[in-house]
Structures are given as structure tokens and as C-alpha cells.
Structure 1
Amino acid sequence: MIVRETPNILRLFLEVRGSVIRRIYPRVLIVMVMSAIVVWAHIRDPKLVPLVDGAPFYLIGLTLSIFLGFRNNACYDRWWEGRRLWGHLLARSRDLARQTLILQQHEEPAAAGRERLIRLNIVLVEDLVRHLRYGDRLSQNVETLLSREEQHQLLQSSNSPNYILQLMGECLSRLSGKGYLTDIEFGILDRTVSGMNDVIAGCERLRNTPVPFGYTLLLHRTAYLFCFLLPFGLANMLGPITPLAAGIIAYTFFGLDALGDELEMPFGTMPNDLPIAAIARSIEITLREALGEKELPEMAVPVDSVLL
């Protein structure tokens, strides 16, 4: 996610970091070069390169912009739902740290069980980042807080966050079996863990169910065809400045298209994706504070104005 102050009017046009211009500028340049060739060829031989009335292009451009707007709204809804899910995970983690305070009223094994639950929560949020971003390396916290056997089982599991939830469930069952939790207290804590499972399922749904490919393909093709044919409709009216106008229009359509691609999969590592690793770090700090630790990890900071 891009984290920075709003640039002034000069830097607004010159800023490149965090924008989609790096992804789309080759396509924009191609459109501008094609426009220059069309204008030059028409001036040299109007019969060889005839121009057409620009009115149909205005109607097509209006329709295309509406459909691109619909797609971007759908992709932004996915991005915002992902942020809501991680906000819900933060809330459930705080609930777990607060609700397990009842275990400190009992003897030492109960307090150790509380610490185990909270540390498993730390492992859960960090491994969820790895799971959603298709990572293959365990984080340092996971390697520190889980035993060798648990790490092996985690890597062998087809759904590693679900395996960690099972470990949390086993810990709760042991505490309940030893009489440290009443049935009501066990039910409250189990619902909190179930809320984390709802978050994981929601994140996996977003990751595994993209916007229908046929819809995306139709918009991609239409945007390309429109921008490549646009010079034939503008050159008759704009003349030598056709490449500039076509470039601005291509930047708008290709930019909206590329931005929709980034927002469609909100858990990736593109500049406009969600900073789930930073949120996971925030949850870790909150949980370590709940354990009374004083040496806490630092909050994640943006690198080149991008927070991941």
C-alpha cells in the first residue's frame, strides 16, 4: 500500500513511485508512435491512410469507461473486504489476549497455557501472510515458537493456518479438561478462535476466486482495440497533436485497467496491495505487550513510500 503525503501540483505530474506508469508506459508509447505514423502517413498520402469520423469513438470511449469503472469498483470492493478481514483478525487477536486473562487466576500450568495460545496466535498471523502470498519459507517467529515436529507438520499441511488453529483448539481442550476453563469460558474462547477461522476462509475465498476471466478479457481486448484505432478518429480533427491526445487517453484506459488488476488480488506484493505483513507485525506487537514483554519488535515502515 502506498503511504505518503499528497504531492504538490508539480510532483503530481512527475511522481513515478507507486503509480502504474511503470507497468503501462510501453503500451502508451506504442499508441503515441502509432498515432504519429498515422498522422504522417495521412499527410503524405490521404488515400492510402484514410481517416474516419471521430463520433463513433466518443460513444465507444464512453461505454468503455463505464465498464472499466464497474470493474474497478468490483476490484476495490475485494481490496476493501480484504482490509476488513484483517481488521477483524486484529480485533479477534485482542479479544483472545483479553479473554485468556482468566487463566492467570489459576496455577502455573494455566498461565503457561495462556502464553501458548497467544504465541500460537502470533504464529497464525505471520503464517497467514506466507500462505496468502504463496511463500515457501517460515518466518523467524514460526521457527522459534513451534517445535521441530510442529514445523514439519506445518510444512506438510495443505492448509498451514488451519493446522495452527487446530493446535490452538488442542490447547483449549487441554485447559478445559484440566478444569482451568468452565464450559462457558471454553465456549467464549472457542468462538474467538472460530472468528479467526472465518477470517482465514474469507481471505482464501478472495485469493482463490478472481474476477471472472471472460469479463476481464473482454475489457482488456476492448481497451487495446480502442486505443490502437483511436488515432484514425482523432487525426482528422487534431492533426499534429494527435499523438499527445491519444497518449493521454491511452494512459487513462490502460492505467485503470492495470489498477484494477492490482486491486483484484489484494494480498500480493504490488504497490497498491494490502500491507498484510505490516498488519501482522502490528498484531504481534499487541500480543507481545499482552504477555508483558518489554523488548518489542519495531513497527513496519514504508520502503520507497510502499508499505507491504
Structure 2
Amino acid sequence: MHLGKSYRLSEFLVWTRRQIYALVICGSIPVILFKFCAMTWLSVPLTIVVLLGTATSFIVGFKNAQTYNRAMEAQDVWTGILGASRRWGQLARDFLREEDTRRDLIYRHLAWLTALRYELRRPRVWESMSRRFNAEYSRHYRVPEWEKGLGEILPNYLSARETERVLGCASAATILLSTQGAFLSELHATGHLNSAFYLELQRALGDFIALQAKAERLKNFPYPRQYATVSALFVRFFCLLFPFGLLHEFDRLNDGVSGFMHGNMIWLAVPCSVAVSWMYTSLEQVGESTENPFEGGANDVPISTMCALIERDLRSMLGETTEDPARETIAL
């Protein structure tokens, strides 16, 4: 997640430059046909274009509001995981006397966090990180899940046997929660955990199951494809039609000017159409990049950093020390 003050205009222009190139072409072709090929019939009444632009702005605004809500919900889910994890460490420290048992509960929880974030980073067909503008910008920050595999990280928290079993399952995060529940039941059955403490830890485990389900819902169910498709089509249709609505408007300006610009005022339709259309395409691009908050984009929820913070806090409860978590931010 970008945690700086703001994006620079130069960053934003570079990120959207391919859209700008296409808009310059779309704006220039109608002017060339109108001026040099005498195709004056190409002009479209500006009223029609304004109506289309109004409808498009409502659709794009609706999409951006929904994608923003998805991002904020994802942030809320992981804030919940952060708080519940600290609570888990506190319960494990206070309810259990054996140091090895405390360590097993906390380290298996850290393994669950690791498995969950790796699961959330797996690409989906509807995500946009494969788009060139996002792939280029990803060079400005790091995503730890792209640098090492899950099999390289889990041995830091689990035994070799348990690591092999977890990696052989379809959902490593789910099997770790199941294993944690079975371990609690074993502690209760052997008398190492009384009933009140057992129920409290099981309730905490149930919270993690619910939070994982919420995160998976945001990951596996995107913004509805029918709305995303309509939004993209309307923006493209507006950007194609808008320059045609400006032809007669700028051509009439020739009557009020003289000198070099007389007869050439129509060329101003190109920068004007590019400027207005760029606002629509940029909003569409921002909405698309915000839609999936775990894919590894610059505006994602910083789950890698949050997991590092949780690990630092939980290990400190065990009396261990860790390095400060690396920030998952764009270098500014």
C-alpha cells in the first residue's frame, strides 16, 4: 500500500501514458478527416456527447465507490486479524504454563498467517497485475510473496513433518486452523488446559476462521463482471465519440480569431478531448487497480507488513526478538 503523502503527477502520467497515447490518436483522426478530407458530416451534436458523458460519469463513479468499499473492507478484515492475533498471543501466554506449548500455539498461528497471505497473493484471471502499466510500477516496491515460496518460509514455524503435510493440502491456511483446533482438544483432554480456557481459545480460533472466510470472499469473488464490462465499454465509447462532438464547436471559433490561428482553431479539439477523456480513463484505471486488494498492487492492503508486525509482537510475548518489519511501500 502506498503510504506516502501522495502520488506525484509525473508518476501518474507515466502510469497512464498508454491511455494518453491512444487518446491523442483518437482525438487527431477526426480533426484530420474533418480538415483535410472535407468530411464535415463526421461531426456529432455536442448535446449527445454530453448526455453520454453524464451517463458514463455515473457508471464510473459507482464502480469506483464499490471498489473503494472493497479495499476498505479488506483493510478492516486485516485490522481484525491484527487485533485477534495479539489477543491469541496474550491468551497463549497467560493460559498455558509450559513454554513449549505456548511456542507451538504461537508459531502455528504465525504459520497460518504466512499461508493465508500466500494464498491471497495467488493471481486470479480477473486481476490486473498482469497489465503492463501495473507490472512496470511494481518495480518501485517489493512483495515478499513473489520472492520466496511458501515451502521456504513454513519451516521457520513448523516441524519438517507438519510442513510436508500442510504443503500437501489444497488450502494450507485451512489445515493449519484445523490442526490448531485438534491441538487444543488434545491439551484439554490431557488436562493441560481447563474447560474455561479451552473454550476461550476455541472462540478465538473461530474468529480466525471467520476472518479468513471474509478475506477469501474478497479474493475469490471480484467486482461483478457485468458492471465492470459495462463501465469499460461506456468509457471507451465516450472517448471515441467525444472528439467528434468538438469538431464544429472549435471550427466556429475561427470566425473570431486572425493571424496564424485563423483556420487552425479546430486543432485545439485534440488537447481538449485528450484532457477530458483522460479523466474518465484514469478513473477507470484507478478503479480497476483498487478492485482486488490482495493481488500485489501499489494500493493493496499491506498484508506482508501487517504479518511482520504481528510476528514481532507475538514473538516478543515469548521473550524473543525480531528485526523491524520491512515496509511494503513505494520508494518515494
The answer to whether the superposition gives a TM-score over 0.5 is yes
Q: Deviations over 1:277-307 (max 9, x none)?
A: 111111111111111113x12222245438x
- State the match for 1:277 in structure 2: 304
Are 1:3 and 1:305, in contact at CA under 8 Å, matched by a contact in 2? no
* TM-score, length-scaled by structure 1: 0.89
Q: Deviations over 1:76-131 (max 9, x none)?
A: 11111111111111111111111123345x4xxx3211111011111111111101
Alignment of 1:8-23 (within 5 A): 12-14=8-10, 16=11, 19=12, 21-23=13-15
2:279 to 252, 265, 276: 252
* Secondary structure at the counterpart of residue 42 of structure 2: coil
For 2:323, the aligned partner's letter is: P
- State the match for 1:133 in structure 2: 121
* Secondary structure at the counterpart of residue 272 of structure 1: coil
Are 1:120 and 1:164, in contact at CA under 8 Å, matched by a contact in 2? yes
* Secondary structure at the counterpart of residue 215 of structure 2: helix
1:221 aligns with 2:211: no
- State the match for 1:160 in structure 2: 172
Q: Deviations over 1:17-54 (max 9, x none)?
A: xx4x4454223212212212211221223336531211
Q: Distance in 1 between matches of 2:290 and 2:329?
A: 20
Range 179-188 or range 48-57, more displaced: 48-57
* TM-score, length-scaled by structure 2: 0.83
Alpha-carbon offset, residue 150 of structure 1: 1.5
- Summarize the Cα distance change of 1:72–1:6 in structure 2 as closer, same or farther, 3 Å threshold: closer
- State the match for 1:4 in structure 2: 4
Range 49-58 or range 130-139, more displaced: 130-139
- State the match for 2:215 in structure 1: 203
User: Quick one: percent identity of the two aligned structures?
Assistant: 24
* Secondary structure at the counterpart of residue 44 of structure 2: coil
Aligned pairs, how many?
293
Gap regions ≥5 residues in structure 2: 123-144, 251-265
Are 1:113 and 1:175, in contact at CA under 8 Å, matched by a contact in 2? no
Q: Deviations over 1:174-216 (max 9, x none)?
A: 2212212211111111111111111110111111111111111
CA RMSD of superposed structures (Å): 1.9
Q: Distance in 2 between matches of 1:201 and 1:81?
A: 13
Are 2:177 and 2:209, in contact at CA under 8 Å, matched by a contact in 1? yes
Q: Deviations over 1:200-233 (max 9, x none)?
A: 1011111111111111111111111110111100
1:192 aligns with 2:219: no
